[in-house]
Amino acid sequence: MPRSFSFLLWLTSAVVLGAEQVPAPSSEAVFEAPDDQNQQTTAPESRPQSVEQIAKLSRRSAVVIRHGGRAGGEGGTGSGFVISESGLIATCAHVIGESRPLTVHFDDGSEHKVTSIHAWDAKLDLAILQIDLRGKTAEPLGLAPADTISQGAEIVAIGAPHGLEFSVVKGVISALRDFDGRALLQVAIPVEPGNSGGPLLDRQGEVHGLLTMKSAVTDNLGFAVPVGALHRLLANPNSVPMEKWLTIGSLDPKRWRILMGANWKQRAGRITVSSPGDGFGGRSLCLSQREAPDLPYEISVEAKLDDESGAAGLVFESDGGNRHYGFYPSSGSLRLTRFDGPDVFSWNILKQLKSDAYQPGEWNRLRVRIEEKAISCFVNGKKVIQLDDNILRGGHAGLAKFRQTEATFRSFRIGPDLAEEKPPNELVIAIEKQVNRLKKNPDNENTLDRLSKNADLVRPLLRREVENLRARADRLEKKSREIHRRSIIDQIITSLQGDENQGLFHAALLIAQMDNPELRVGDYHAELDRMAAEIAETIAKKATLPEKVSAIGNYLFKNNGFHGSRSDYYNRSNSYLNEVIDDREGIPITLSLLFMELARLVGVKMHGLPLPGHFATCYESDGKRIIIDPFDGGTVMKSETADALLSDAGMQIDSSRMETATPREIVCRMLRNLQTIAIEEKAFPDALDYVDTVVRIQPNSAQDRLNRALLSLQIDQPGRAKTDLQWILDNKPEGIHLGRIRDLMTRLE
């Protein structure tokens, strides 16, 4: 779980506005006042304006900022304001989140895309956005000189409290405060979520600050970042284009090329597409950058359509423009088409048919075999089309969608032979018999154990039973989940045996697969190998150990946008290693694990350092331990900082002599993180599965056995709880009040 940031003192009396948490501030560097032609700084006028006048004039410059959520949809709303005629927008850093898509909305109803993050500083909690004005005239607010407002001055604030856009409120500056070396304006006005980033204006209409947080004690107290900090940020921009900022959900341009628009995204090993494309029939393509092998070869993908009236599937032999083949379901039929140009006159439906092999609304595996003169198409292993056609050859393969359909794809493959390996008929018959036994006696342990050995074959059968037997759907779904998780737990234990270091990455992926059965673990092993190969290309043959470590850090944090998740820390995605790789966002332990694994593959030996509340990684150089903090962009952590974490936790040891973490300890720490989040979400069955895995890995951990017992009681399974409680009484571990355990056992009896 997260370390205590230096601004913890604030949060005892104040909470952050909006949907995101303010990143930790630190002492500010001092810069000269900027000399920026775009910046609007004027001398204050002598005659104050009315609140009505200020509101009328400033509404044209005030904006509402919306950012997307991590898993899609809307993530949060905040405020901002125009500071230059070229379309620079000032707001708070926590309003824009981390690597989220952003839109800026004006009072006239216009919506504008953000083209770059012109400047940002998480420690100051400030950000400046550059928007595409699209012909709109931007009217900037004037920025007052730094430190020109005093206690008692009247102020006016504009924002979007609770989504109520362009709201106005007046009040006074009640104090000038300093929090941990950071200056803030204390304002006596009602401040609510959504006001973050809004301007704080004097009675001449000039900006003196940006609202950042509200008090947790009273409704009429808040805080603002002084305008002087904004001046300093303007003087030192660190522009990031949006294509670099938007790492979450974006497809890697080295692997995919998008043509003809539409909204293509990736998450947790899947690619999704929504909105019509720009091509004929709402067509849009997503082409693999991988070169196709020599003929003959095959391509395949698993696809699922939300609307069967649309179409989505495979494309192949594409010239990167309007010429390609396509094989996809469309309006309940299967089509093999050839596009010889951009319009309907160059569109050829080579074959169209209906097939019982295709399951509407379900995942369907589409496969195409391309030979020198022929094309064969398969659905779920059944050949449905074979046609002689060799007009187009030598292009790229990929995915396509048409019309309004929203489609999801997974497991895209290119290779010489991708035919499904069917399980032996004897095995299928045996599994069906076991499923029938499970239907009669769902709690039979022998049956569950046997089915868990072939979980991938079992789950589809159970899903069909759920559909056919509605009255027993809930119970069967629980058993399916139990079979899957038992299988995953067994695999985690197996992966940590033998050479544990090589099994660590696999075990971490299996933790994610525990909650996401459709995750393809092998895809992420391949992705890790690809990343390591790219890093290796940047390392000189005679590079020193620190230079190799630096190359890994540069690749992850400077070149590819990996970063610590400060504002979305308690999201389970941060503990799912595949989603950390997809989203390039994580917490200390998952970012450290990724760093360590890449180091291992490029020949650098690194270890996990289990600092209290802040996991890190380290290596030995010239007899000295060097600590790397991947959560902080791969920077070197000072030994004094690490020692302070240990001291604060009551551990009388310095970081140079601290034992490094074993793979088992790392996996258990990840599981305990997820357990804590699940309990907070009141997802007690999930929490029980996490702690159950920990106990399987560390059977002598008394605290985890006690946690498992308490969670078992929480979901009304006293029998399971008594087993762990009796173990505690038999083994008498230190640190647990045995008298209370006996009392609890007595009550259960």
pLDDT tens per residue, range 223-252: 899 999 999 999 988 888 887 777 767 888
**β-pair type (585-586, 563-564):** parallel
Residue 652 and residue 513 in one domain: yes
Give the separation between CA 710 and CA 44, rounded to whole angstroms. Answer: 64
What's the pLDDT at 507?
95
Is 402 found in the same domain as 429?
no
Per-residue pLDDT, 140 = 92
Higher-confidence residue: 11 or 301?
Answer: 301
Residue 631 included in any domain: yes
Helix, strand or coil, per DSSP, at residue 36:
coil
- Retrieve residue 363's tokens: 């995942």
d(CA 520, CA 510): 10
Single-letter amino acid code for the residue at 274: S
Which among 608, 634, 661 is the end of a domain? 661
For residue 461, tell me if it sits in a domain.
yes
- Best CA proximity match to 338, nearest among 362, 355, 322: 322
Residue 182: is its pLDDT beyond 80? no
For residue 34, is pLDDT > 70? no
Look up the CATH number of the domain holding residue 16: 2.40.10.120
From 66-80, 289-303, 596-610, the region with the lowest mean pLDDT: 66-80
Residue 357, domain member (yes or no)? yes
b/e map 644-674, b = 16+ CB within 10 Å: ebbeeeeeeeebeebeebbbbebbbbbbbbb
pLDDT in tens, 377-425: 999 999 999 999 999 998 999 999 998 888 999 999 999 999 877 777 7
What string of DSSP letters covers 83-113?
Answer: -STT-EEEE-GGGSTTT--EEEEETTS-EEE
Edge to edge, what strands does the sheet with 333-340 contain? 256-259, 284-288, 396-402, 311-318, 323-330, 333-340, 347-353
| Residue 501, pLDDT score | 63
- Do 510 and 478 share a domain, yes or no? no
Instruction: Answer yes or no: do 239 and 105 share one domain.
Output: yes
Which of 495, 522, 544 is at the close of a domain? 495
Check which CATH number belongs to the domain holding 510 and give it.
Answer: 3.10.620
> Comparing 13 with 141, which gets the higher pLDDT?
141
Q: Are residues 262 and 394 in the same domain?
A: yes
pLDDT value at residue 468? 60
The CATH number of whichever domain residue 324 belongs to comes to 2.60.120.560
Q: What is the pLDDT of residue 467?
A: 60
Confidence of residue 13 (pLDDT cuts 50, 70, 90): very low
> pLDDT by residue (tens digit) across 149-172?
988 888 888 876 555 666 788 888
Q: Identify the domain boundary among 389, 415, 441.
A: 415
CATH number of the CATH domain containing 744: 1.25.40.10
Q: Whole domain around residue 583: which residue ranges?
A: 500-661
Q: What is the pLDDT of residue 466?
A: 62
pLDDT at 165: 63
Report if pTM > 0.75: no
Integer Rg of the chain from CA: 29
**Which one is predicted more confidently, 355 or 97?**
355
Q: Are residues 546 and 588 in the same domain?
A: yes
353 phi/psi in degrees, rounded to 5: -160, 165
pLDDT number for residue 9: 27
Task: Tell me if 85 is assigned to some domain.
Answer: yes
Mean pLDDT in the chain? 84
CA 100/CA 120 separation, integer angstroms: 14
Is 17's pLDDT higher than 50?
no
- Give yes or no: residues 94 and 56 share one domain: yes
Q: Is residue 66 part of a domain?
A: yes
How wide is the angle at C-alpha 99 spanned by C-alphas 98 and 100, nearest 5°?
90
The percent of residues in the chain predicted with pLDDT above 70, rounded, is 87
> Which range has highest mean pLDDT (130-134, 174-178, 410-414)?
410-414
- Mean pLDDT, range 190-214, rounded to an integer: 82
Residue 229 lies in a domain: yes
Question: Is the pLDDT reported for residue 75 higher than 90?
Answer: no
Note whether 633 and 724 are same-domain residues. no
Residue 2 lies in a domain: no
User: What CA–CA distance (Å, rounded) separates 172 from 188?
Assistant: 5
What is the total residue count of the chain? 749
Q: What is the pLDDT of residues 732-743, one digit of tens each?
A: 998 888 998 998
504/635 same-domain check: yes
pLDDT over 90, % of the chain: 48
Kindly state whether residues 410 and 429 are assigned to the same domain.
no
Q: Does residue 3 sit within a domain? A: no
| 651/676 same-domain check | no
| Same domain? 373 vs 437 | no
Instruction: Domain count for the chain, please give it.
Output: 5
Strand-pairing partners, residue 361, are none
- Category of 464 on φ-ψ map: left (φ > 0), alpha (ψ -120 to 50) or beta: alpha
